[in-house]
């Protein structure tokens, strides 16, 4: 029997939040921006083909604090971070499309895609050049060691966190672009809060999962935020870019902290739980996942499953 339930509906950000007196359209340099976007994709694909120096373990971590995270592994946290990250990336694009598709919407979507492409390309190159082992690489559990061996060079792509960079780039750039299209301050604050909560949650879960050290996540947050601000700013510069109201600023500051705290408090059975081979699902076993959700009145996240 199938079932579905709404987990976080963005009712305060309806599709009709577009206003007639929105700021001027951004300026898009189609040839230059296409080259930048293509370069980001090419760097990401090219870096995936390059070898990684996996000849030995790092003798020490950049900060002593990171050492205590060696050996962590949690498949449940890993799976949840994938879901929350995907939702954070989809929501900004859905918000733009939900306002009605026209030339201005296409320009904003292109800016959003370019921002994510640049973020992805920079991250892919950094991972290969640094070749830092992930925390689970250091686990003494033989089952985790077998999992690590199956991952190949992926085990040595810890620095810096791509999930953190992408979700913060998506959250900041997507929220900035939405701010330019709506006069509804409550809706704008809701988008900022939702997006950066999901970004903070995803970043924290990457540490819980044993996929990244705290410094990996911190650098990812900083890079993602920087690129997320730069993308819209470059295209709106000198064209009347709208700033954040007080409610948006508060949401932008508090939401990622709330997300990080939530990731630390989620009741996973064991932060160093082992990664086994995927079990064969029983027809009666409950399964559920987070997916983007939309209605004529707003956007959100839905949990869908089957048992």
Backbone angles phi, psi at 304, to 5 degrees: -125, 145
How high is the pLDDT of residue 256?
98
Please report whether residue 274 resides in a domain: yes
Q: Name, in order, each residue with C-beta under 8 angstroms of 142's C-beta and a sequence gap of 6 or more.
A: none
Our CA dihedral for 238, 240, 245, 250, rounded to 10 degrees, sits at: -40
Please report whether residue 36 resides in a domain: no
How high is the pLDDT of residue 21?
59
Reduced to 3 states, what is the DSSP secondary structure of residue 180?
coil
Task: Give the Cα separation of 166 and 171 in Å (integer).
Answer: 8
Please report whether residue 247 resides in a domain: yes
Domain of 95, in residue numbers = 2-15+72-306
How high is the pLDDT of residue 141?
82
Q: Which two tokens stand for residue 266?
A: 């989620």
Q: Name, in order, each residue with C-beta under 8 angstroms of 265's C-beta and a sequence gap of 6 or more.
A: none
Tell me how many domains the chain contains.
1
How high is the pLDDT of residue 102?
87
Please report whether residue 218 resides in a domain: yes
How high is the pLDDT of residue 1?
30
- pLDDT tens track, the chain, 307 positions: 332 223 333 433 433 444 445 556 899 999 999 999 999 999 999 998 998 877 756 778 888 899 999 998 888 899 999 999 999 999 999 999 988 888 999 999 999 999 999 999 999 999 999 999 999 999 888 888 888 888 888 999 999 999 999 999 999 999 999 999 999 999 999 999 999 999 999 999 999 999 999 999 999 999 999 999 999 999 998 878 888 999 999 999 999 999 999 999 998 765 555 544 544 444 444 445 554 554 434 555 555 444 3
Reduced to 3 states, what is the DSSP secondary structure of residue 69?
coil
User: Peptide bond preceding 160: is omega within 30 degrees of 0, i.e. cis?
Assistant: yes
Spatial contact of 289 and 303, defined as CB atoms under 8 Å apart = yes
The DSSP bridge pattern shows strands 287-295 and 2-6 to be unpaired
Element (H, E) at 295: strand 287-295
Please report whether residue 264 resides in a domain: yes
| Segments in 50-184 forming alpha helices (H) | 64-67, 75-98, 103-130, 142-151, 162-179
Please report whether residue 115 resides in a domain: yes
Chain centroid to Cα 132, Å, comes to 20
Please report whether residue 203 resides in a domain: yes
Please report whether residue 192 resides in a domain: yes
Q: Name, in order, each residue with C-beta under 8 angstroms of 19's C-beta and a sequence gap of 6 or more.
A: 181, 182, 183
């Amino acid at each position: 029997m199938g079932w579905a339930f709404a987990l976080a509906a963005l009712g305060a950000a309806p599709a009709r939040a577009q206003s007639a007196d929105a700021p001027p359209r951004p300026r898009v340099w189609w040839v230059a921006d296409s080259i930048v976007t293509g370069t980001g994709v090419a760097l990401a694909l090219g870096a995936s083909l390059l070898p990684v120096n996996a000849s030995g373990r790092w003798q020490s971590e950049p900060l002593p604090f990171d050492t205590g995270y060696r050996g962590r592994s949690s498949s449940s946290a890993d799976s949840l971070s994938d879901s929350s990250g995907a939702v954070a990336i989809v929501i900004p694009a859905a918000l733009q499309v939900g306002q009605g598709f026209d030339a201005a919407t296409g320009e904003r979507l292109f800016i959003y895609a370019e921002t994510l492409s640049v973020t992805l390309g920079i991250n892919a190159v950094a991972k290969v050049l640094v070749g830092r082992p992930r925390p689970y690489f250091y686990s003494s559990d033989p089952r985790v060691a077998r999992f690590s061996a199956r991952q190949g060079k992926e085990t040595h792509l810890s620095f810096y966190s791509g999930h953190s960079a992408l979700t913060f780039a998506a959250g900041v750039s997507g929220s900035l672009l939405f701010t330019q299209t709506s006069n509804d301050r409550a809706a704008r604050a809701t988008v900022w809060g939702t997006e950066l909560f999901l970004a903070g949650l995803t970043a924290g879960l990457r540490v819980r999962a044993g996929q990244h050290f705290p410094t990996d996540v911190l650098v990812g947050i900083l890079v993602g935020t920087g690129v997320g601000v730069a993308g819209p700013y470059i295209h709106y510069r000198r064209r009347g870019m709208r700033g954040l109201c007080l409610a948006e600023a508060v949401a932008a500051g508090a939401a990622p902290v709330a997300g990080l705290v939530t990731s630390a408090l989620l009741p996973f059975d064991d932060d160093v739980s082992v990664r086994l081979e995927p079990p064969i699902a029983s027809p009666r076993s409950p399964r559920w996942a987070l997916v983007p959700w939309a209605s004529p009145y707003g956007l959100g996240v839905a949990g869908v499953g089957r048992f």
